[in-house]
Structure 1
């Protein structure tokens, strides 16, 4: 089959820059990268753009386009959330269920199974954020719904573990045992530590048991202290723990972001998440979560008492924030939105970079870092014009 080609003034492949280069793709897969002057004679040039980069991967997306996953989990709701975030360069995401009832959790897993069967563009699995969290670090999660993980809860997760490219769950050691973490990790579930007041030693021990991530670094977790490093210290010091980061200027101070990026032990990295709620892509001024009003004002989403409740930011804005406010090189900000989240969930054999054989997911931008278009599986799903 003849390859299609998009030529870019600047092309970032996930590792390095290329100038006047093209990506060639067919059947939803990248065939090759090549200098624009050396394209095959039969290549179909479909666009010429300023900047082309791997599509963004968001592992924590509660909603978008006016839809909150908790409000009515269905394949249609998942499709609407994915479409809303595609407008901002996100080509793969995990719709995220915030702590809810067992019935809603089961319905969400069924909705995810149907979305996978429907091949919803951008959908690569689910993130269950709770309900097995710490009351002491509940954040905006409903304390009445937080509870320990019982055998039926574990059995439910394990029953769906192989139905998605990725099934991710955020848990706290206070309400999940080490053995439960190991059972989930052994079944292919990505386990993340979050909403926890546990100490450094316990967090590291749970990492040894199979946890491989920390959810929204700094937020809703025991802080880095000079005698007790906490979950923050474990995330930065343990080279096997990846960590999601909300880069909106409200959840984490700029100085703290910069310090964390310098301090993080590898090979695991810090990566971007939006923690976006339903207003993304809309002019909504608020919404409800578990019956409580959430207010949208000045880039923040808060409960009545001022507690942050998710974020009002998209992935492209997060990339810009890291580049323009933190001073991160653009290539590193782009890696934090694509390559590093792909590494965190172990899918670099499919996505996260522009390489032969990977899914043809990419974003095109203007030189000013404004949106141009979003491509998922070789199909243009959004065009700014």
Structure 2
């Protein structure tokens, strides 16, 4: 717990819903106590001049494959989860879902066991688990190993439901090509966050699966059926279906800024577009290459690619994603911050209206290029 009184001035405050400028905020013993227009406020205790920077709750990232030089797939253990979470905390992430991409049944079970144990040990920043595959479409496999993609069997369904009983959040990315509507309904009834992705399914099929309980779409536009003049595909279903929300890799590489602009304007609510990093092992490092299950991935000019040029995750953090949305796409700053904090938190059961705490706040530079934890700056 944080003790004492701290006043922040000369900056902006994002309170999880609104961006407030021209105000002073006073924290007493870690909790916000006073929020007043700067011209009428009297600073108390330690006074920190933000110099135009932004106070914001820590980010929530629902798709994190690796960080600090390691991939979850390489060693699905509590130690790996802890190392990844620590790396992303340095990048401003308060909560994340360690993400296992398509792998063997044995590796999947190890990932589930590691996530459950990480929650029992209270590893900071871990909010559950995201299994991206293996029940996908080979036609839209992207960087996933097509040899490991397979239909969902009864034993898989039982294992996922059992895992969901022991995790605060289990997110599963799947494709209609490999999973039935009945299975999706059973997953959703068990409280699992079902996300459609890596799929070539048509618009009508995707809408049926949303009606069966799917609530998200994984990395909108990437590894999915595209929007055409006669067939809207999964992209069209994501934008037209209010019950679906969609993760977006806003690096300007995976999706062109003008496409992001059109999608942002077209999205039907109440579902929204939210930001994900899809971060790989290089997150938080200066590494130029790494391996994923024996396949070399190279980092060049903001891209991560396999040897054949296929994009393999993203060289991205959420501060950079916010900058892309604001500077290149034209999204209001408050909406971009919401897409990196409050909205993804609500999807995994985070309290939208939870009280702000100073130890959970980050300071984002005015140019949207860097961020740091307030607790480390005092």
TM-score by length of 1: 0.90
Query: Are 1:142 and 1:290, in contact at CA under 8 Å, matched by a contact in 2?
Result: no
Report the alpha carbon displacement of residue 59 of structure 1 after superposing the two structures with TM: 0.5
Query: Are 2:25 and 2:32, in contact at CA under 8 Å, matched by a contact in 1?
Result: no
Distance of 1:126 and 1:3 partners within structure 2: 36
Aligned to 2:187: 184
Report the alpha carbon displacement of residue 284 of structure 1 after superposing the two structures with TM: 1.3
Moved more, 330-339 or 254-263: 330-339
Q: Residue 14 in 1 paired to residue 16 in 2?
A: yes
Describe the shift of the 1:222–1:4 C-alpha distance in structure 2 as closer, same or farther (beyond 3 A). farther
Q: Residue 222 in 1 paired to residue 225 in 2?
A: yes
Aligned to 1:269: 272
Report the alpha carbon displacement of residue 324 of structure 1 after superposing the two structures with TM: 1.1
Aligned to 1:110: 113
Report the alpha carbon displacement of residue 103 of structure 1 after superposing the two structures with TM: 0.9
Aligned to 2:139: 136
Q: Residue 156 in 1 paired to residue 155 in 2?
A: no
Distance of 1:40 and 1:115 partners within structure 2: 41
Deviations 1:249-306 (A, max 9, x none): 1101111100000100011100111101000111211111122111111111111111
Q: Residue 371 in 1 paired to residue 365 in 2?
A: no
- Summarize the alignment of residues 308-323 of structure 1 with structure 2, pairs less than 5 Å apart: 308-323=311-326
Distance of 1:153 and 1:6 partners within structure 2: 52
Aligned to 2:293: 290
Distance of 1:324 and 1:115 partners within structure 2: 37
Aligned to 1:201: 204
1:147 pairs with one of 150, 159, 163:
150
Report the alpha carbon displacement of residue 150 of structure 1 after superposing the two structures with TM: 0.7
Report the alpha carbon displacement of residue 189 of structure 1 after superposing the two structures with TM: 0.8
Aligned to 1:361: 360
Distance of 2:46 and 2:213 partners within structure 1: 46
- Summarize the alignment of residues 62-141 of structure 1 with structure 2, pairs less than 5 Å apart: 62-141=65-144
Query: Are 2:322 and 2:368, in contact at CA under 8 Å, matched by a contact in 1?
Result: no
Distance of 1:15 and 1:211 partners within structure 2: 26
Describe the shift of the 1:23–1:365 C-alpha distance in structure 2 as closer, same or farther (beyond 3 A). farther
Aligned to 1:34: 35
SS at structure 1 position matched to 2:27? strand
Aligned residues: 371
RMSD: 2.3
Query: Are 1:25 and 1:360, in contact at CA under 8 Å, matched by a contact in 2?
Result: no
Structure 1 runs not aligned, ≥5 long: none
Distance of 2:237 and 2:357 partners within structure 1: 33
Describe the shift of the 1:183–1:31 C-alpha distance in structure 2 as closer, same or farther (beyond 3 A). farther
Aligned to 1:279: 282
Distance of 1:52 and 1:357 partners within structure 2: 11
SS at structure 2 position matched to 1:70? coil
Distance of 2:318 and 2:29 partners within structure 1: 26
Query: Are 2:65 and 2:281, in contact at CA under 8 Å, matched by a contact in 1?
Result: yes
Describe the shift of the 1:372–1:232 C-alpha distance in structure 2 as closer, same or farther (beyond 3 A). closer
Query: Are 1:274 and 1:311, in contact at CA under 8 Å, matched by a contact in 2?
Result: yes
Distance of 2:257 and 2:153 partners within structure 1: 39
Distance of 1:234 and 1:264 partners within structure 2: 10
Report the alpha carbon displacement of residue 73 of structure 1 after superposing the two structures with TM: 1.1
Report the alpha carbon displacement of residue 165 of structure 1 after superposing the two structures with TM: 2.4
Structure 2 runs not aligned, ≥5 long: none
Aligned to 2:240: 237
Describe the shift of the 1:345–1:63 C-alpha distance in structure 2 as closer, same or farther (beyond 3 A). same
Report the alpha carbon displacement of residue 366 of structure 1 after superposing the two structures with TM: 2.6
Distance of 2:358 and 2:142 partners within structure 1: 36
Query: Are 1:60 and 1:96, in contact at CA under 8 Å, matched by a contact in 2?
Result: yes
Deviations 1:1-53 (A, max 9, x none): 966545242111122233333263758xx565633776897xx6485533201
Distance of 2:122 and 2:227 partners within structure 1: 42
Report the alpha carbon displacement of residue 208 of structure 1 after superposing the two structures with TM: 0.7
Query: Are 1:190 and 1:212, in contact at CA under 8 Å, matched by a contact in 2?
Result: yes
Distance of 1:166 and 1:101 partners within structure 2: 22
